[in-house]
Structure 1
Amino acid sequence: MSGEPIITVLGLGEAGGAFARDLVAAGARVRGYDPAVPAPDGVAGAAGEAEAAAGAALVLSVNSAHDAVDAFRNAAAGLADGAVWADLNTGPPSLKRELDGLAAARGVRFADVAVMAPVPGRGLRTPMLACGDAAGDVAALLGPLGAAVEVLAGESGPAPAGAAAGRKLLRSVFFKGLAASVVEALEAARAAGCADWLRGNIVEELVRAGEPTVDRLVDGTHRHAVRRAAEMRAAADMLDELGVPNAMAAASRDLLERLAAAR
């Protein structure tokens, strides 16, 4: 055990705590730090980022995008040359490129790691997409411990930092936007007294969806933009009458009007 590399987890909330516990269960030497959350059983606690990172082969930064740069700067004094800093926070590609530059200046290798599904219930088995010069190191260190890390390939080696974050956020535009539309539609349906009917209709559409669905949605949206813009104007007006905020309906109207104007 004493010869195993140290893996440090910065941020021991829902995701970081789950990763740390699974790493311990897999037999890894784990050190952790979170200013608000005590280290879980089996995780060696630290008084700060630099102490937590001292001597670590791999540091997993799982705090927040807002704190990601400060976490690196606070830990920098403790990082050994050649250590790997993996940022798992959900942030824009520009943040990952900034962290990559900070790491390079410190002699530290960097990986942009995107967590591609909810962590609860999956822990370390949550699918992850990695890029940056140390992406392969992250996969090599975490894979034998049960992690599911896919290295995003570039032209020669891993794709550059920011690519994984970009893919996650592109997926978020679709999936989180879909979820928000469902929530808004059901809220309006409850106000209109037909929530059960609409829920059944949504379930039916999602179950029936297949590979051709994407082409049908995209082609239909462009082809019928004028008519659908008018339809979504009416939908947004109806939600106003029902007293339901209509951010998603209004956004759909605006997008359709933009497409219609470009024809």
Structure 2
Amino acid sequence: MVQSSQQAAGAIAIIGFGEVGPIFARALADAGHTVSIFDIKLHDAATRAAIVERAEQSGARVADDLASALRDAQLVFSAVTASQAEAVASAAAAHLKAGQVFVDLNSVSPAVKQRNSVAIQQNGADYVEAAVMAPVPPQGIRVPMLLGGRVAGKTAERLNALGMRCEAVAQEVGLASAIKLCRSIMIKGMEALCVQSMLAARQFDVDGRVLASLAASFPGVGWDTGYEAYLIGRVVEHGQRRSEEMREAASMLDGLGISSALATAVADVQEQLAARGAPLVEALDKKGSLPEWRALLKPA
């Protein structure tokens, strides 16, 4: 007899409640699952209220601490920043036991995922690395994910029963993340190239001609229909998180004995534009959209 998605999932916990957490929580709660969330920012009076409100809107229960969030969860999603992924896995490991599955959604290097795996499995829990292969909005829990780990196949079946779109690619931890980060070097490299190109082109007032030339050289890409606006907007809104991912890519390259200079430079470009655009992003909810990309690239 085929299990229902509720039976296959049991209680669910989400660690980290930034961009991804509320989206997953809302979809899972709407489907009738019990969802508990915890975020370290709940301990900060300046940020607690906003997280509690998002959790209520998402149909999730706010846990007082990490241990209570994890206590009854069969599935645990870690959706924190790249810089906190290892610390969260280490902290969670002390509270996890056999029968629980820790799904690491974070964009970190294969080496970090491997260390996280060792930590989580020390008390009998299972570890699955997940590489999220596209922006979560607007696809939500249907975003494509690659899974790795000794129970990746079974976990893919469980998550797909919840409405997700997962593919197990390896029993070895690290390969799914390698696929993602190698792809990210290309994707985020294109974003950084676009930012640098348009920054310079704006100074000479030749951006229109540059874009026309790109459209002629690469027809169908979208250089004549606003592709540059999409790339630049992604950096302005999500550049800090994306820069952290690129530093993880740089760490991966260093571990392979390959120069990480390019990946580091891409991270720097992402981080710098994100910092410049931070005030605009803070006002995004009020205005509803970012300014036209040329305004985003005005000299600081």
Q: TM (normalized to structure 2)?
A: 0.64
Shift of 1:9: 0.7
- 1:217-258 CA-to-partner distances (Å, cap 9, x unmatched) read xxxxxxxxxxxxxxxxxxxxxxxxxxxxxx98xx8xxxxxxx
> Is structure 2 residue 109 aligned with structure 1 residue 92?
yes
Cα distance between partner residues in 2 of 1:21 and 1:140? 21
Shift of 1:2: 8.4
For residue 20 of structure 1, the aligned residue among 17, 25, 28 is: 25
**How do 1:1-263 and structure 2 match up within 5 A?**
5-36=10-41, 37-38=51-52, 39-41=55-57, 42-152=59-169, 158-208=170-220
For 1:232, the equivalent position in structure 2 comes to none
What amino acid is aligned across from residue 32 of structure 1 in structure 2? Answer: I
- State the superposition RMSD in angstroms: 2.3
Unaligned runs of 5+ in 2: 42-50, 222-260, 266-300
- 1:63-112 CA-to-partner distances (Å, cap 9, x unmatched) read 12222222223223432312111111010000000011112212111111
What amino acid is aligned across from residue 215 of structure 2 in structure 1? Answer: V
Q: TM (normalized to structure 1)?
A: 0.72
Question: Is residue 13–residue 37 contact of structure 2 (8 Å, CA) maintained in 1?
Answer: yes
What amino acid is aligned across from residue 196 of structure 1 in structure 2? Answer: G
Cα distance between partner residues in 2 of 1:33 and 1:40? 13
- 1:159-202 CA-to-partner distances (Å, cap 9, x unmatched) read 31111111111001111111111111111111122111212332
Shift of 1:45: 1.3
Percent identity over the alignment?
34
Unaligned runs of 5+ in 1: 153-157, 210-246, 252-263
Distance 1:109 1:175, change over 3 A: same
What amino acid is aligned across from residue 19 of structure 2 in structure 1? Answer: E
For the residue of structure 1 that corresponds to 2:83, the secondary structure is: coil
Give the number of equivalent residue pairs: 208
Distance 1:204 1:59, change over 3 A: farther
Cα distance between partner residues in 1 of 2:161 and 2:189? 35
Distance 1:201 1:162, change over 3 A: same
Which of the two has greater helix per residue? 2
For the residue of structure 1 that corresponds to 2:13, the secondary structure is: strand
